[in-house]
Amino acid sequence: MFVDLTLPIDDEIPVFPGNPPPNIKQFSTIETKGWNEKQLTFTSHFSTHIDAPKHMIESGKTLSDYLIESFIGEAIVFDVRNQSTIDIDVSKVKPGDFVFFFTGYSDHIYEKDYFENNPVISESIIRKLIEKKISILGIDSFTPDNHPYPLHKLLFLDNIRIVENLTNLDKISQQRFFCYIFPLNIKNADGAPCRVVAEI
């Protein structure tokens, strides 16, 4: 069984304050040109997406620097709903894991205050996950921390990628599952929208 953990790409998905809004328009139609085609305009960190270290570390890796197989692997999800500062027991985390946090915050994505009062992960947990040598951290919110994003930078310095704006984590019935993450193949990308699928 597969579960899609990806938000849609459409004009209604909110963008981070200060970022340009998405523009998805009908470029051609069967009636006018003989085929349907859309023109898509959005940033590399729109909707469900993955951050590479280059996002905040000038000398950091881009998505192109990672092998495609590194986006496929075993994931573990932690139910951290109702935690404003997230704390977990990392004893079950294994090297190479994708570690996902189910906060429930994606339920608020269409609310006007979505970019306020978001849960954040404690620095001590981030440091423990780095020690565990995880591969990817994911969260169903727009960020695991807030400005000036010190936890992003800690993760990036260890070449750990971050997936943001996940959804449907409530549909994962077990803690461990196999996960597929497919970013758009943008050359030298600091990040990219991606399709994230759980196999359970």
pLDDT of residue 198: 99
Write down the mean pLDDT value for the chain: 97
Strands 23-28 and 37-41: antiparallel
pLDDT of residue 159: 99
pLDDT at 45: 98
The per-residue pLDDT for range 141-182, each reduced to its tens digit, is 999 999 999 999 999 999 999 999 999 999 999 999 999 999
pLDDT tens by residue, 60-80: 999 999 999 999 999 999 999
Predicted TM-score of the model (pTM): 0.96
Q: What is the pLDDT of residue 65?
A: 98
**What's the pLDDT at 97?**
99
- Single-letter residue type at 68: I
Q: Dihedral of the CA atoms 119, 125, 129, 132 (nearest 10)?
A: -160
Q: What H or E segment, with its residue span, contains residue 30?
A: helix 30-33
* Average of per-residue pLDDT across 181-194: 98
167 and 140 in contact (C-beta within 8 Å)? yes
Q: Give yes or no for a contact between 54 and 197, defined as CB atoms under 8 angstroms apart.
A: no
Give the HSE-up count for residue 79: Cα atoms under 13 Å, Cβ half-sphere: 8
191, two tokens? 């990040």
Q: Which residues of 23-51 are buried (b: 16+ CB within 10 A; e: fewer)?
A: eeeeeeeeeeeeeeeeeeebbbbbbbbbb
For the chain, domains (ranges, CATH) are 2-10+44-199 (3.50.30.50)
pLDDT of residue 89: 98
Q: Return the sign of the alpha-carbon dihedral for residues 80, 151, 58, 157.
A: negative
Helices (H), 84-183: 123-131, 150-157
**Mean per-residue pLDDT for 89-97?**
98
